[in-house]
Structure 1
């Protein structure tokens, strides 16, 4: 592999030698974290030294930044973007339900609802639901996520973070599929919206899906604004009005 440093060509022979020595792998990992942590000690989750070294070398050889990020911080590139609240989370990404919709179109708990909903939160939701007939609204449980390597198999696995109840507001958006836009391009289109929501409603979570909304045989892009009770329970009505104002301005 050609690099900007000619002496580093054919480095895989050296990498293989290091991987044969557990002490060498441990020293490599310690040196890496000493260079990125101000106190010289990494306090987060890390792979075992041999797994860390292998992931690091594989990322180097394959020029795969996401593989490198998974090895050092347990986030993919887009995990970092989403958890920095810069781009939306995908509705039901990787085949996993997120968010869980807990009420029907009339604001009533679903008969097969398997999530525990405290009465106080349900009554609060019903109150704001009755006052907002100009937006689709659901009681829901949402979460953020990241990806990481399994310490044993080194397969990529999902890790959920911060599961919590809240109010989900759902909006129809222009169909980016018909506009021949990729998912990443669609994120460009809504980034200003996401940033404004974070400025006025910090810790709100935005969901997005291409052609995931179906009505009368037609498919539409869908955007969701999730307001967790943890952050927005107080003055919930005002927060909902703020979210609606921001999204409606964007849609105009």
Structure 2
């Protein structure tokens, strides 16, 4: 039997980075223990289902199956909640984050946005000079919550919506370099940690090969997106975006040194 969620491959590097950092290890431990204390631990009233999950986890080495039963989080969900890896980015046409404007800064048809939120976005859009191969959007970001339905089937729902300004950057294609998603997280580890230091409540997304250019669809690229919730960042939005530009561009430069200057057309 396979694992209930796709198993992340080649996780050694990212796990080693967490173990080497007392601060990162402490954050992960804190998130885990917060979820399994008496006030937050999930209790399955169906004993048969609990045992089914427990035995499956043992037989298949599936730690995420057991964690979902105990605290409603997979292994990588806990890493994301501890701000140790980015959220998984589903692409421009995907579910999370949800874009509310187009690349020209205009509201997409059918989207409802308050006048205050749109005014703040337009002000930022007009005054921030985007870095090469980057763009600004108004977007909604979500946490994704997984729960068991019947047996070992899982449903995924959006939760905790945050509306903000999304800075979206193109990065070299790490799949072409033969890297797994976990290995790609390790590549952007330093940049991700610096972003969290600069903007602690930012929502950071990463996607392998989620970016496509119409004129060159056979050459996808990776994307990193940083969503700054308007409520938390509106007073210093431009300052934070300038700092994040510098962090991401430095990361991109290092990635291109490894992948080759032709790995991403700027």
After TM superposition, the score normalised by the length of structure 2 is 0.73
Aligned residues: 211
For residues 61 and 232 of structure 1, the distance between their equivalents in structure 2, rounded to whole angstroms, comes to: 47
Structure 1 residue runs of 4 or more that deviate by more than 4 Å after TM superposition: none
State the Cα RMSD in Å.
Answer: 2.1
Residue number in structure 1 paired with 2:124? 128
Mapping 1:158-237, distance limit 5 Å: 158-215=156-213, 216-217=215-216, 218-237=219-238
Distance 1:231 1:47, change over 3 A: farther
Shift of 1:153: 4.5
Indicate yes or no: 2:139 matched with 1:140. Answer: yes
For residues 178 and 142 of structure 1, the distance between their equivalents in structure 2, rounded to whole angstroms, comes to: 28
Shift of 1:70: 0.9
Q: Tell me the secondary structure at the aligned position of residue 168 of structure 2.
A: strand
Shift of 1:103: 0.7
For residues 43 and 190 of structure 2, the distance between their equivalents in structure 1, rounded to whole angstroms, comes to: 34
Residue number in structure 1 paired with 2:115? 119
Indicate conservation of the 8 Å contact 2:128/2:238, yes or no: no
Residue number in structure 2 paired with 1:6? none
Residue number in structure 2 paired with 1:46? 43
Q: Tell me the secondary structure at the aligned position of residue 233 of structure 1.
A: helix
Greater RCO structure (CA 8 Å; 6+ sep): 2
For residues 137 and 43 of structure 1, the distance between their equivalents in structure 2, rounded to whole angstroms, comes to: 37
Cα deviation digits, residues 70-93 of structure 1 (max 9, x gap) = 111111111111121111122228
Shift of 1:112: 3.4
Indicate conservation of the 8 Å contact 2:41/2:70, yes or no: no
In the alignment, structure 1 segments of 5+ residues that lack a partner are: 1-32
Mapping 1:10-89, distance limit 5 Å: 37=37, 41-50=38-47, 51-89=49-87
In terms of Rg, which structure is larger? 1
Shift of 1:42: 4.1
Indicate conservation of the 8 Å contact 1:79/1:147, yes or no: no
Q: Tell me the secondary structure at the aligned position of residue 235 of structure 2.
A: coil
In the alignment, structure 2 segments of 5+ residues that lack a partner are: 1-32, 254-266
For residues 197 and 165 of structure 2, the distance between their equivalents in structure 1, rounded to whole angstroms, comes to: 19
Shift of 1:209: 1.4
Residue number in structure 2 paired with 1:29? none
Q: Tell me the secondary structure at the aligned position of residue 235 of structure 1.
A: helix
Cα deviation digits, residues 152-199 of structure 1 (max 9, x gap) = 444111132311110000111111121111111111111111111111
